[in-house]
Structure 1
């Protein structure tokens, strides 16, 4: 008898109901029913509760947003939560597919441990991600967990190809022709339609972009060429040398219709300054030096000004893909087949170099793959793109 009130409690099937305060001021959802449901608006319904775990590597987190389209096709009425590292959370901001972002800290992990999901998707093959995925309560799990011996294992048959990519170098470096996006779709048993990444600007960010364009006297008749100059410190050999950047920028800046932008994050501040100071004196004033210390989201705003982005395989490359820029990406130690440019860019591959790709943090071969970067070809690609820019602009 003492639990009759609890037993008769009807918690609204609503994404916005917290049990802490009213969804709408002055309105009692428990007594009067869900206001959104009564209005005929069904967007609030929780439906399938889904947790995505994607923690590590900023570029990988952004790539994994490509599954959101297929996820909503499979579960049109659903609530999507995403667990990621704090530094990656800004990547997921303003994403209409995601209902809530949880960060990898004690508070959020405690909250998640008290919840139950219909579907768990974990594409990360790290011990801590897999350990946590194993603990989450979910009816269905896709991707990877830890077994009783602390070994990473696939939890569904469809994840086996992805799993083998991690332990079979011949498959990863020589045989695989699938993109990372296709592989993660298959891992999660989602239909792959070559869906693009999801990255959205807020209204304030769009206003920031327009004001920055005014500041640099943006003129759409020019071709804006961005140089993403750096990369993660984890793999420091995924960037050109300063000298290569200087040579290429000096070359491209000779074309009066091109505007050059230096792009990067806080770890690239000194490097970009060195590149800028090493340019020919008459070129320096033609190069737009974008701030590197304003955070990931503002960095994306600066990149959005560009038509073309020249980059190694880094987060900046993935961001350029997400922003639908024409991407000229060169590769050395990483696997070029895993990158999908969505018919909007070109890859430069170290053809004939037996050691590439390798994913080595330290190169035993004097960075031959870096030396092989064809700067003349990059310049040629930029000039050819300038001729067809209107076609891509209209397409996007």
Structure 2
């Protein structure tokens, strides 16, 4: 696709990925799309739980919500979504998501130019199929998504993550901390003990609790425990295991508010998760604990991050549940190791 072909595109749709961490890692690609399609009105199609990542992005003109649990649910949902998209009269679509569904919906919506990796048997549905090689799959995912653009002649090497926060979310975060009695000058450390995809990615709750106690005792830190609605029991258990006070936010904030609170943190300790990538994008100093997953492709992409990982023969296995049953990769990561890594970072 040459420069004149790009200039001819006036309405462009970006199909976002479906997970928060992946969406954050696409932000360099979204910025590059804006840079190389400057005359286009750019809409971004995203699931509701991902949309807040782009809600205040200067590179997106409009967010279209894929109402997977509402209007667009069920077997007829994608067809209804295609009809909704057809009304926008898009000239082109770029798929950052790899599933065949993304290309099929765009095809049914009559979008004439369809760009994406040739994954998931969707090559016949693409007008510009970019080959996804083994080498591309092996690089960090920020570069992986940029390779889609490289496949249509758009070369952009800027892999800096980017998140723009809303002022309303910032204000609600300030109010939440005030209600909890947190001194505006307090040192705040966030703990994120959750992770999707399975328990193999999660460091042990009792170690998070012990780390929280040490951060409070030695640094005088206010400890915030993060998590989604499904993590309420986990967050409450960690708070109860701690000897001193902590503020459990699990399931009590929106994603936008959680992002604003992470931005307020002086440090963040996390499993490999969506909020890990949020912290990286906000340049919050963070320590990320890796076990079963691949730190080469999904590590936090920032200069203010450190990875704690003890290499063993079976790691990374990429399994949601430890196939050996004892999670040696996580057992090797001690509270002392995480604390010392955080101390060295700060």
**TM tier, shorter chain?**
0.7 to 0.9
The TM-score with structure 2 as length reference comes to 0.83
1:182 aligns with 2:143: yes
Match of 1:62 in 2: 24
For residues 379-390 of structure 1, what are the structure 2 equivalents within 5 Å? 379-386=339-346
* Map of 1:40 onto structure 2: none
Q: Bigger radius of gyration, 1 or 2?
A: 1
Measure how far apart 1:341 and its partner are: 2.2
For 1:235-259, what per-residue CA distance to the aligned partner results, in whole angstroms no more than 9, with x for missing partners? Answer: 2321111122122222222214322
The 8 Å contact of residues 201 and 292 in structure 2, kept in 1 or not, is answered as: yes
CA distances 1:257-299 after superposition (whole Å, capped 9, x unpaired): 322211111111111111111112xx2x2x2223523322222
Contact 2:93 2:114 in 1 (8 A): yes
1:255 aligns with 2:218: yes
Q: Could you tell me how far apart the structure 2 residues matched to 1:260 and 1:354 are?
A: 34
Aligned residues: 322
- Checking the alignment, whether the CA contact within 8 Å between 1:265 and 1:299 is kept in structure 2 is no
Secondary structure class of the residue paired with 2:199: coil
Cα distance 1:277–1:305, how it changes in 2: closer, same or farther (>3 A)? Answer: same
- Distance, in Å, in 2 between the alignment partners of 1:357 and 1:141 is 34
Distance in structure 1 (CA, Å) of the matches to 2:123 and 2:9? 29
Counterpart-to-counterpart distance in 2, 1:193 and 1:288: 40
Contact 2:13–2:93 (8 Å) recurs in 1: yes
Task: Give the superposed CA RMSD.
Answer: 2.7
**Partners of 1:47 and 1:375 in 2: how far apart?**
53
1:258-297 to structure 2, matched below 5 A, reads 258-280=221-243, 283=244, 285=245, 287-290=246-249, 292-297=251-256
In 2 relative to 1, CA 77–194 (structure 1 residues): closer, same or farther, beyond 3 Å? same
Is the Cα–Cα contact under 8 Å of residues 286 and 342 in structure 2 kept in the other structure? no
Within 2, Cα distance between the matches of 1:74 and 1:276? 48
2:335 aligns with 375
* Number of the residue aligned with 1:310: 269
Residues 223 and 259 in structure 1, CA contact (< 8 A), matched pair in contact too: yes
Matching residue of 1:362: 321
Give deviations 1:5-56, integer Å, cap 9, x for gaps: xxxxxxxxxxxxxxxxxxxxxxxxxxxxxxxxxxxxxxxx996321111242
Task: Verify: 1:93 aligned to 2:55, yes or no.
Answer: yes
Tell whether the 8 Å contact from 1:224 to 1:259 is kept in structure 2 after alignment.
Answer: yes
Q: 2:170 aligns with which of 194, 201, 206?
A: 206
1:321 aligns with 2:294: no
Whether 2:217 is the aligned partner of 1:238: answer: no
- Which residue number in structure 2 is paired with residue 12 of structure 1? none
Match of 1:334 among 287, 293, 313: 293
Q: Is the 8 A contact 1:53 1:133 kept in 2?
A: no
> For 2:41, which of 79, 83, 88 is the aligned residue?
79
| Map of 1:118 onto structure 2 | 91
Residue 114 (structure 2) pairs with residue 151 (structure 1):
no
Q: Does 1:192 align with 2:156?
A: yes
Structure 2, unaligned stretches of length 5 or more? 1-6, 67-71
Residue 225 of structure 1: aligned partner: 189
> For 2:96 and 2:316, how far apart are their aligned partners in 1?
22
Alpha-carbon distance, 1:357 to partner? 1.7
Alignment TM-score, normalising by the size of structure 1: 0.73
Contact preservation (8 Å) 1:122, 1:133:
no
Q: CA distance change for structure 1 residues 251 and 382 in 2, over 3 Å: closer, same or farther? A: same
> Following the alignment from structure 1 to structure 2, what is the Cα–Cα distance between the partners of residues 159 and 325?
35
